[in-house]
Structure 1
Amino acid sequence: MKRNSVGIKLYVCVLAVFVVFAVSFMIFQQSREKHYKTDVLDTKLQDYNARMAESLAYAGAVSDKVLDEYVAKHHINGLRVTLTDTKGHVLYDNMRRKYGGMELHADRNEIKDALKYGKGMNISRMSSTMNHYYFYSATYFPKQNIIIRTALPYDNNLLKSLQSDSHYIWFAVIAMLVLVVVLYRFVNRLGTNINKLRIFAERAVNSESLEIEGLAAFPNDELGEIAERIIKIYKRLEHTKKEQDELKRQLTQNMAHELKTPVASILGYMETIAENPDMDADTRMQFVQRCKTQAERLTILLGDISVLNRLDEAPDMIEFKSVDVSSVVSDIESETALMLSDKGMMFRNLIPDGIIVRGNHSLIYSIFRNLTDNAIAYSGRDTVVTLSAEETDAKWIFTFSDNGCGVPTEHLPRIFERFYRVDKGRSRKMGGTGLGLAIVKNAVLLHGGTINAMQTPGGGLSFVFSIMKR
């Protein structure tokens, strides 16, 4: 435990609460036990008083002889017996025979309580007659109109008998020592975990290395497990952040490279035109047409990058509404009919009419258009593109396949990566941006679905993807 840590504060607070509880318990127990022993002794003397009153009633008179015989017969070492009337006049005292000279006892607390409540007690009071402290117990007997008071000297023997048992005090002390050790061990482990978390937090804030021996292991308890998982999650996030940074760096390099190619072509053609004012009209028009082609490619590339940025950074801002997928596919089929015809390809649209999903119309269009353009560009001449659909309770599952040349198996896991090309030279020649399939995957995921690419039995490439209905 270091500093004024939470563990030390917890340790002090819990220990203080226990000490207060233990002291309070000992005080209460002492008081309760003393009260109990006092009541037992008072009951014993009250019983003595009652039996003496019965003997006097049986004798029919209050006489020194009867009382002396009773006291002698029921001897208790040191016991003093005193009888008074209701006025406080002493009628008998076994310790002193000259009653006439004794002062009235009406002002004694035990006598007053006996007259008022039937019995009275005084734990420790100096006797003015005997010049000694006594424990008094007095009983009033109305039928005989007398008060019998018995008393025991408040000496070491009586004090010892009224003392509380000290065993529970030793028990409380031992329990306290055990608690101190156990609590210290617990708080020490707690402090160790908290200190490691503090070190972790300081290093995380300062971007320092977390690979230190102090953070290698935690005590085998719940807090240690939580702390260890927090650090593992943080390390995983840091690793993911590094991977994302590396991916962004690669994407930036790829984008710069992809943008540089059409821009360089446009600049080259424009410089040639500017430096050759006497260039014939046909050559100039050819160069202008090539500039237009590169500009269109640049526009498509920037559009694809914009779509991906929107999918990455602001998916919640994309508006969803009911989209007729069947109508979207029909429009794409019409738009690409000429391109399909030029390559001798056929588009087999097997999906039923009226497929309605909740999504973004532009992104749904991008999914099917990019898959179609990809098939036209790379599946080869005289091939067949097939689109089918299967309905489940929660989603539509689409299969987009062709019987073309396909993609080597080792490339399948990476074809959805941005700017990834199976044949880079051929892809650029065909005008591809390298972002089409990345847009397809992100759009499918945004619509609650999944997508996989696989070889088509018999040759070609198949994409199986799903779109949630709602």
Structure 2
Amino acid sequence: MKDNFKKLKRKLLLEAIGLIVMSVILGAIFLHLFVDGVLESWFAEGFVTWLQNWMGLDYYAARQIYLKIFVYNKPMILGGAFLLLLGGALYVMGMRLTRYYQEMAQAVHKLLDESDEPIVMSDGLEFMATELNEVKRVLKHRERVARESEQRKNDLVMYLAHDIKTPLTSIIGYLSLLEESQELPSTFRQKYTGICLDKSYRLETLINEFFEITRFNIHEVVLEKETFNLTFMMEQLVDEFYPLLLEKNLKINLMYEEEVEFYGDVDKLVRVFNNLLKNAVAYSYPQSIIELHIFKTVAEVTLTFKNQGKTIPKHKLETIFEKFYRLDTSRTSQTGGSGLGLAIAKEIVVAHKGTIEVESSEAGTIFTITLPYSK
């Protein structure tokens, strides 16, 4: 962009110089042809004749006027002619600049145009048209993403509101039954109490999803960094997932060559790793192995989370980190959450100046997090 503006500036400067040179050339041509040149007598006679015919002067008086204007005051006449030509050149340059400004103003207004018609500008401003078309494309993409995200959020809130009614209705029904049936056998009373407790846990999960949506909308990642043992943190996380692993007969292999000391926000990074492990468990085939690798280099640390499960389609990989996006759209599935986990995880990783990527194939799905060492 900077080089293109330099080219435009050079072009305008050359045009200005060209107009000035042209003014000088025209003035010189006029001088040598009509005043001091081969056409001098023809021009003089014509000028004198014009004064005689239009002003009623005699030949001697008309001849004196010609001499005073074009011969005795030649420098002044030439200077005036040059200034006149220079003024015309500056006017042309001003018109050219005005046209550029008008084109740029119209192009900026077209950025808000909802049509797909491309922005077209004149020669010399093609680079700006290209840049503005790219800006327009990005704005439309962001608008579309924001609109889709808002729609997903609205759908999610509607689903959550509907889902909350189900466990709440069950809780009210079983509690009413327990209150009305005072002589209910203890086995049934225990069964109904357990159902109420399970439904309460489910209700708590749904309410937490509501809070997660609200927190994300007002959320700004503020890091509170400290030095901690990253490998020890991951070992603790893996131990905490032991009950969930038993349900599907899964196993987590944590592999690293040496312990890693890292400087970052412990609580937020725990949330990132916890989310990725939870997704790996939720989407893994039963009796499979989840592989967790930690690689350390001089400049950064890389963590990979690999699980064996259904291949994620390519078009979903491109949107998997968008907020309110869920791989499993079923609300009854245990894997169906608010769709904020990976979006928040990306924000936290980016806040640490890191990257998070995903790839999926028949060999498995791999999430890769790279975090640079920085104070």
User: Retained in 1: the 8 A contact 2:223–2:264?
Assistant: no
List alignment gaps of at least 5 residues for structure 2.
1-19, 21-66
The residue aligned with 2:123 is 220
Choose from 311, 314, 328 the match for 2:220: 314
Please list the CA deviations of residues 399-429 of structure 1 after superposition, one character each: whole Å capped at 9, or x if unmatched.
Answer: 2112344434554333333343444338723
Q: 1:396 and 2:301 equivalent?
A: yes
Choose from 129, 151, 162 the match for 1:250: 151
Please list the CA deviations of residues 67-115 of structure 1 after superposition, one character each: whole Å capped at 9, or x if unmatched.
Answer: xxxxxxxxxxxxxxxxxxxxxxxxxxxxxxxxxxxxxxxxxxxxxxxxx
* Cα distance change on mapping 1:211 and 1:195 into 2, 3 Å: farther
Q: 1:239 and 2:146 equivalent?
A: no
Q: Distance in 2 between matches of 1:362 and 1:460?
A: 28
Residue 343 of structure 1 and its aligned partner are, at CA, apart by 2.4
TM-score where L is the length of structure 1:
0.54
The residue aligned with 2:333 is 428
Choose from 239, 258, 265 the match for 2:166: 265
Q: Distance in 2 between matches of 1:466 and 1:260?
A: 37
Please list the CA deviations of residues 377-413 of structure 1 after superposition, one character each: whole Å capped at 9, or x if unmatched.
Answer: 1102211111112233321122211234443455433
Q: 1:173 and 2:80 equivalent?
A: yes
Please list the CA deviations of residues 351-386 of structure 1 after superposition, one character each: whole Å capped at 9, or x if unmatched.
Answer: 245322332212211121111111111102211111
Please list the CA deviations of residues 102-150 of structure 1 after superposition, one character each: whole Å capped at 9, or x if unmatched.
Answer: xxxxxxxxxxxxxxxxxxxxxxxxxxxxxxxxxxxxxxxxxxxxxxxxx
Q: Distance in 1 between matches of 2:138 and 2:304?
A: 35
Q: Distance in 1 between matches of 2:114 and 2:248?
A: 59
* Cα distance change on mapping 1:219 and 1:185 into 2, 3 Å: farther
Residue 185 of structure 1 and its aligned partner are, at CA, apart by 1.1
Choose from 78, 85, 94 the match for 1:187: 94
User: Retained in 1: the 8 A contact 2:280–2:305?
Assistant: no
Please list the CA deviations of residues 233-288 of structure 1 after superposition, one character each: whole Å capped at 9, or x if unmatched.
Answer: 76456525532541342233133134224421233124424654425424531442
State the percentage of identical aligned residues. Answer: 20
Q: Distance in 2 between matches of 1:258 and 1:323?
A: 40
User: Retained in 2: the 8 A contact 1:320–1:358?
Assistant: yes
Q: Trace 1:59-458 onto structure 2 (pairs within 5 A).
A: 166-197=73-104, 209=113, 217-221=120-124, 228=129, 232=133, 235-236=136-137, 238-240=139-141, 242-273=143-174, 276=177, 277-279=179-181, 280=184, 281-302=189-210, 304-305=212-213, 308-309=216-217, 313-315=219-221, 317-425=222-330, 428-430=333-335, 432-455=337-360
Higher mean C-alpha deviation, range 191-200 or range 180-189: 191-200
TM-score where L is the length of structure 2:
0.66
**Count of residues in correspondence between the two structures:** 302
Q: Distance in 2 between matches of 1:350 and 1:245?
A: 39
Q: Distance in 2 between matches of 1:410 and 1:192?
A: 44
* Cα distance change on mapping 1:406 and 1:298 into 2, 3 Å: same
**Structure ranking higher in helix proportion:** 2
RMSD, matched Cα: 3.8
User: Retained in 1: the 8 A contact 2:168–2:203?
Assistant: no
Q: Distance in 1 between matches of 2:149 and 2:310?
A: 32
User: Retained in 2: the 8 A contact 1:356–1:469?
Assistant: no
